[in-house]
């Protein structure tokens, strides 16, 4: 593949043809914020926080979905770029709960990080605010759509990485939200609780129920572990606090492999002294089940018993 050479912040950068401006800039060590960009499902271009100034372009360019071209001259932090990013953050904060003190995502929230970086302390925009009930119907995942920034990463990961399409954008305009079909709660949907959507959510809209109240991000250390239940080799994070595993969470996509609840539960049982109670859906409702059933080992157990007798 041919190469292209562009200038980013005065530095000449050579990348292969088709590389996005974002990847070219990040590869050269320059910071560009992103909210909706996900390498596993690129070119969405919805949030626009990744805009950069391209010499000769009529408007700021979304760097995540524009390809670098030969001779391009790019500024990643010009006054116009910074102004645009601040406005986007202000618009997002205009309809975002300011409950960082108690939010599970505090310290690990990308919106919070960017507000800090660009010194946006409050929103200058006043208007109607959402007041959705928090959906905690699923035994593993909490959905707080009041905190959703509509980046769509959960929708794309569910559809393109998990191949499921359980959630999607619903309604229009101010009422737009991410919802399962017919805007039901998660428990009534076809969600299989893989947790991949939680792993990609940049804010506190999707969080793990099992991790609620257990610690701040800066108190938790993560260690990557490979599930050995099947030969897919899915990656999970063991979350340690004070040297003890307090929960197993899905690792953010990288390999593009699907994850499964069985794998996460199995690792909980293996590593967590106080694992979550395994719950499975039966006749449309979640009920607690024995571990052998949650891990799908009844058949193995029966065979072992048969052989012992
Ligand atoms: Fe580029 Fe959202 S990260 S548009």
C-beta 45 within 6 A of ligand 1: yes
Q: Model confidence at 142, in pLDDT bands (50, 70, 90)?
A: very high
C-beta 34 within 6 A of ligand 1: yes
C-beta 47 within 6 A of ligand 1: yes
Residue 229, Cβ density class (10 Å: 0-12 exposed, 13-18 middle, ≥19 buried): middle
pLDDT at 153 over 90: yes
Ligand 1 atom with the smallest distance to the CA of 36 is: 2
Ligand 1 atom with the smallest distance to the CA of 33 is: 3
C-alpha span between 170 and 173 (Å, rounded): 10
Q: Model confidence at 1, in pLDDT bands (50, 70, 90)?
A: confident
Whole-model pTM: value is 0.91
C-beta 36 within 6 A of ligand 1: yes
Asked if residue 197 lies in contact with residue 158, where contact means CB atoms within 8 angstroms, the answer is yes
C-beta 62 within 6 A of ligand 1: yes
C-beta 21 within 6 A of ligand 1: no
pLDDT at 254 over 60: no
- Which residue from 31, 33, 41, 46 has its CB within 8 A of the most atoms of ligand 1, so it is best to mutate? 46
pLDDT at 276 over 60: yes
Structural tokens at position 202? 């940049």
C-alpha span between 38 and 268 (Å, rounded): 27
Strands 73-75 and 3-8: parallel
Report the pLDDT averaged over residues 34-41.
Answer: 92
Ligand 1 centroid–CA 4 distance in Å is 22
Ligand 1 centroid–CA 237 distance in Å is 26
C-beta 84 within 6 A of ligand 1: no
C-alpha span between 24 and 68 (Å, rounded): 7
If DSSP codes are grouped into helix, strand and coil, which group holds residue 300? helix
Residue among 201, 84, 205, 94 at smallest CA distance from 144: 205
Residue among 110, 67, 88 at smallest CA distance from 206: 110
Ligand 1 centroid–CA 273 distance in Å is 40
C-beta 205 within 6 A of ligand 1: no
- Ordered by where they begin, the domains of the chain are 3-77 (3.10.20.740)
Total count of residues recorded for the chain: 309
Structural tokens at position 307? 């052989």
pLDDT at 298 over 80: no
Ligand 1 atom with the smallest distance to the CA of 64 is: 1
Beta partners for residue 245, in sequence order: 240
Ligand 1 centroid–CA 45 distance in Å is 4
Ligand 1 atom with the smallest distance to the CA of 34 is: 3
- Which residue from 23, 41, 49 has its CB within 8 A of the most atoms of ligand 1, so it is best to mutate? 49
pLDDT at 256 over 60: no
User: What was the pLDDT predicted at 95?
Assistant: 92
Report the pLDDT averaged over residues 188-212.
Answer: 93
Q: What is the pLDDT of residues 77-108, one digit of tens each?
A: 999 999 999 999 999 999 999 899 999 999 99
C-beta 35 within 6 A of ligand 1: yes
C-beta 97 within 6 A of ligand 1: no
Asked if residue 13 lies in contact with residue 5, where contact means CB atoms within 8 angstroms, the answer is yes
Residue among 143, 248, 293 at smallest CA distance from 203: 143
Q: State the average pLDDT for the chain.
A: 92
pLDDT at 119 over 60: yes
φ, ψ (nearest 5 deg) of residue 210: -65, -20
Q: Model confidence at 123, in pLDDT bands (50, 70, 90)?
A: confident
Which residues, 6+ apart, have CB-to-CB distance to 53 below 8 Å? 60, 61, 74, 75, 76, 78, 80, 81
């Amino acid at each position: 593949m041919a190469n292209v050479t562009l200038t980013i912040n005065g530095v000449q950068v050579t990348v292969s043809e088709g590389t996005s401006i974002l990847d070219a800039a990040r590869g050269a060590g320059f910071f560009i914020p992103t909210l909706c960009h996900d390498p596993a499902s690129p070119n969405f271009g919805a949030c626009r926080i990744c805009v950069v100034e391209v010499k000769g372009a009529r408007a700021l360019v979304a760097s995540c979905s524009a390809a670098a071209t030969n001779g391009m001259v790019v500024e990643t932090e010009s006054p116009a770029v910074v102004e645009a990013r601040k406005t986007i953050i202000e618009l997002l904060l205009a309809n975002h709960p300011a409950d960082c003190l108690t939010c599970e995502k505090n310290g690990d929230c990308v919106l919070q990080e960017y507000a800090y970086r660009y010194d946006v302390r409050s929103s200058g925009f006043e208007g109607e605010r959402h007041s959705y009930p928090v959906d905690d119907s699923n035994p593993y995942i909490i959905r707080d759509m009041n905190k959703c920034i509509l980046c769509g990463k959960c929708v794309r990961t569910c559809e393109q990485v998990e191949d499921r399409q359980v959630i999607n954008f619903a309604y229009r305009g101010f009422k737009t939200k991410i919802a399962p079909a017919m805007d039901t709660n998660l428990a009534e949907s076809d969600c299989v609780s893989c947790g991949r959507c939680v792993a990609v959510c940049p804010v506190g809209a999707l969080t793990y129920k099992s991790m609620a109240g257990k610690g701040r991000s800066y108190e938790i250390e993560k260690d990557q572990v490979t599930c050995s239940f099947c030969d897919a080799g899915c990656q999970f994070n063991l979350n340690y606090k004070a040297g003890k595993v307090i929960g197993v969470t899905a690792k953010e996509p990288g390999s593009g492999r699907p994850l499964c609840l069985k794998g996460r539960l199995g690792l909980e049982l293996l590593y967590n002294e106080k694992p979550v109670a395994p719950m499975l859906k039966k006749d449309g409702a979640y009920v607690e089940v024995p571990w052998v059933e949650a891990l799908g080992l009844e058949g193995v157990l029966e065979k072992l018993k048969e052989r012992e007798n």
